[in-house]
């Protein structure tokens, strides 16, 4: 372990907050990290980015930015049979949309590329040959049928399936003979006893004697593509990855990877395994849950900062735990010593509240509000294409006024183009039959209300209007106060749109206040 990291760990464990009250050794260590930290997010494009993946990417991004390092996106596309068309591009699209863009990636390029594993096959092949030549790996000629029989026999006897390492005992002449005959083969890494313990940044000291419970793992498949175990250590080494922050499900494999590092004579990165992000009931997030994909949140009008906020709020690793944090605040408050081993329980039912708070913040910031206005205008035109009758409802000032009046009340822009707010953009229609159901005195009531509003002028207040409307209702012969208010709510939806040209004394705020009077 690097001296600066040991110093930082001592600083963490003593309860000192990094960069707030660090000791001298920690301060020296952390300052030496500038430009040296390189972390990576390495998903497989066998599916689209979901919340669990975004959370892993986010922690890597925050770690890199906290220590002035680089965040790298590497796509592990070696399982060609399971690749999903468009997934690779979508993963990078969603990271950029979420506000955690990589510094190096297949799209952006960089000094350690290529960043697609399928374009690095020669490097894996060379490394595998090096392992074979040094006796740390060997050719395996066992057929798929034999391996399937081994698996069935193990399951029948109640044991965990594992390869029996048969081909590691082949003589050199046997190996050469099979290779000359063109017999299909893989390359397996030779697991050895004597695994050294390692200190994980989250789970502390760990050691797994993998040779006792596993057969020798395949590192190069029959099709020439590497497995995860070889490809990820080769890439981490050549891309100069300093820290590997990944899900805790990989913790048990780390000893295996460290054996490969030792066999190749390479210095391993520092490992930190993040606790799982789970559903509220403790079950693991699954790609079969269609609502956890980032694209679905984007489509539903969820803001990226709300997603980042809720995935960190339910977990650990930060000095505070409050709703409404921005990415800059998450970076400044990040403290690796506060990452716990407990799973993070995701409560998606709270997401609308997170989104409401972040939407309110956007509305209050002029530059962000302009983007919201443009986005809302596009949505209005899409939803009400043929129904728009007044250009005024598309003007910036009007939309801005709507946003500021409803901030804190709506959770997404989608609500504003829903049926409940349609009256803001189009003139609602209603029939005389609807009015007749309420009262036969519609003309009288309309006349009385208009006279009342004209009498108020600029002095119109909710409390006073509520009182006088009740007095006014007594002037009708056969209509109750509650029906008077129902009629007003029905007609005011039309008046909101007509106010631009017909009722100059009405401000939008007055219409809103009348519309929400208690019945």
More confident position, 85 or 448: 85
Beta strand residue intervals within 156-306, DSSP E: 186-189, 198-200, 204-206, 218-220, 243-247, 270-274, 277-279
Identify the pLDDT of residue 469.
79
Distance of CA 238 to the CA centre of its chain: 28
Model pLDDT for residues 169-224, shown as the tens digit of each residue? 999 999 999 999 999 999 999 999 989 999 999 999 999 999 999 999 999 999 99
Q: Given pLDDT bands bounded at 50, 70 and 90, which one contains residue 434?
A: low
Reading the block at residue 29, the tokens are 């260590």
Q: How far is it, in rounded angstroms, from Cα 189 to Cα 49? A: 31
- Is there a contact between 18 and 6 (Cβ–Cβ < 8 Å)? no
Identify the pLDDT of residue 175.
97
User: Beta 204-206 vs 218-220: how paired, if at all?
Assistant: unpaired
Instruction: Check whether 482 has a pLDDT greater than 50.
Output: yes
Q: How far is it, in rounded angstroms, from Cα 71 to Cα 63? A: 9
For residue 220, CA distances in Å to 121, 193, 460 come to: 10, 22, 79
Identify the pLDDT of residue 23.
39
**Number of other residues whose CB lies within 10 A of the CB of residue 26:** 23
**Which residues are known catalytic residues?**
287
Closest CA to 73 of 35, 99, 109, 120: 109
- Is there a contact between 325 and 1 (Cβ–Cβ < 8 Å)? no
**Residues 465-478, mean pLDDT to the nearest whole number:** 79
Question: Which segments of 86-209 does DSSP mark as H helices, in order?
Answer: 87-98, 121-133, 144-156, 172-180
Q: Assign 285 to helix, strand or coil.
A: coil
**Number of other residues whose CB lies within 10 A of the CB of residue 212:** 9
How much of the chain exceeds pLDDT 90, in percent? Answer: 64
Instruction: Check whether 508 has a pLDDT greater than 70.
Output: no
Instruction: Check whether 421 has a pLDDT greater than 70.
Output: yes
Q: How far is it, in rounded angstroms, from Cα 166 to Cα 361? A: 64
Average pLDDT, the chain: 85
Identify the pLDDT of residue 446.
77
How much of the chain exceeds pLDDT 70, in percent? Answer: 84
More confident position, 1 or 438: 438
- Is there a contact between 239 and 72 (Cβ–Cβ < 8 Å)? yes
Angle at 229 between CA 91 and CA 257, to 5 degrees: 120
Q: How far is it, in rounded angstroms, from Cα 353 to Cα 330? A: 19
Stated pTM of the model: 0.79
User: Beta 277-279 vs 344-346: how paired, if at all?
Assistant: parallel
Q: Assign 406 to helix, strand or coil.
A: helix
Question: Among the listed ranges 58-67, 389-398, 405-414, which one has the minimum average pLDDT value?
Answer: 389-398
- Is there a contact between 241 and 270 (Cβ–Cβ < 8 Å)? no
- Is there a contact between 263 and 131 (Cβ–Cβ < 8 Å)? yes
How far is the first Cα of the chain from the last one, in angstroms, to the nearest whole number?
70
Q: How far is it, in rounded angstroms, from Cα 309 to Cα 162? A: 42
Angle at 512 between CA 509 and CA 516, to 5 degrees: 140
Instruction: Check whether 510 has a pLDDT greater than 70.
Output: no
**Residues 418-445, mean pLDDT to the nearest whole number:** 77
Reading the block at residue 5, the tokens are 């990291």
Distance of CA 166 to the CA centre of its chain: 44
DSSP string for residues in 222-290: TTSPBPHHHHHHHHHHHTT--EEEEEGGGGGGHHHHHHHHHHHTPPPPEEEEEPPEEETTSPBP-TT-G
Instruction: Check whether 344 has a pLDDT greater than 70.
Output: yes
């Amino acid at each position: 372990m690097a001296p600066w990291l040991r110093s930082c760990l001592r600083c963490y464990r003593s309860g000192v907050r990094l960069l707030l009250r660090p000791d001298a050794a920690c301060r020296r260590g952390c300052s030496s990290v500038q430009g040296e930290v390189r972390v990576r997010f390495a998903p497989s494009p066998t599916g689209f980015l979901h919340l669990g993946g975004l959370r892993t990417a986010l922690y890597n991004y925050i770690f890199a930015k906290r220590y002035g390092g680089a965040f790298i996106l590497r796509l592990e596309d070696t399982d060609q049979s399971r690749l999903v068309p468009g997934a690779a591009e979508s993963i990078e699209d969603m990271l950029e949309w979420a506000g955690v863009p990589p510094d190096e990636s297949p799209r952006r390029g960089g000094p350690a590329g290529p960043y697609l594993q399928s374009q690095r096959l020669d490097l894996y092949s060379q490394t595998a040959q090096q392992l074979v030549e040094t006796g740390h790996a060997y050719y395996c000629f066992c057929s798929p049928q034999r391996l399937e029989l081994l698996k069935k026999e193990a399951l029948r006897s109640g044991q965990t399936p594992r390869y029996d390492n048969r081909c590691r005992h082949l003589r050199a002449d046997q190996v050469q003979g099979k290779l000359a005959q063109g017999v299909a083969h893989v390359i397996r890494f030779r697991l050895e006893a004597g695994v050294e313990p390692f200190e994980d940044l989250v789970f502390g000291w760990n050691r797994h004697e993998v040779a006792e419970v596993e057969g020798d793992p395949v590192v190069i498949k029959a099709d020439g593509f590497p497995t995860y175990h070889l490809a990820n250590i080769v890439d981490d080494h050549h891309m100069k990855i300093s820290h590997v922050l990944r899900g805790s499900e990989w913790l048990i494999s780390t000893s295996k990877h460290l054996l490969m590092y030792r066999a190749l004579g390479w210095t391993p990165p520092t490992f930190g395994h993040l606790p799982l992000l789970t559903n509220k009931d403790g079950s693991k997030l699954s790609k079969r849950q269609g609502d956890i994909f980032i694209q679905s949140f984007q489509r539903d009008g969820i803001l990226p900062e709300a997603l980042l906020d809720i995935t960190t709020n339910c977990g650990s690793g930060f000095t505070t735990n409050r709703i409404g944090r921005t990415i800059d605040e998450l970076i400044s408050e990040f403290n690796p010593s506060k990452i716990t081993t407990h799973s993070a329980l995701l409560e998606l039912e709270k997401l609308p509240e997170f989104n409401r708070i972040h939407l309110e913040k956007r509305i209050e910031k002029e530059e962000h509000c302009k983007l919201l206005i443009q986005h809302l205008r596009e949505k209005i035109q899409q939803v009400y294409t043929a129904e728009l009758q007044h250009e005024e409802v598309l003007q910036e000032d009007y939309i801005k006024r709507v946003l500021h009046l409803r901030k804190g009340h709506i959770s997404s822009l989608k609500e504003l183009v829903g049926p409940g707010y349609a009256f803001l953009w189009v003139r609602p229609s209603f029939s005389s039959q609807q009015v007749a159901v309420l009262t036969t005195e519609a003309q009288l009531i309309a006349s009385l209300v208009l006279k009342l509003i004209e009498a108020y002028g600029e002095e119109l207040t909710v409390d006073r209007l509520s009182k006088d409307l009740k007095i006014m209702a007594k002037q009708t012969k056969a209509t109750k106060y509650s029906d008077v208010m129902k009629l007003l709510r029905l007609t005011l939806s039309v008046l909101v749109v007509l106010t631009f040209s017909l009722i100059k004394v009405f401000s939008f705020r007055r219409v809103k206040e009348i519309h929400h009077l208690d019945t």
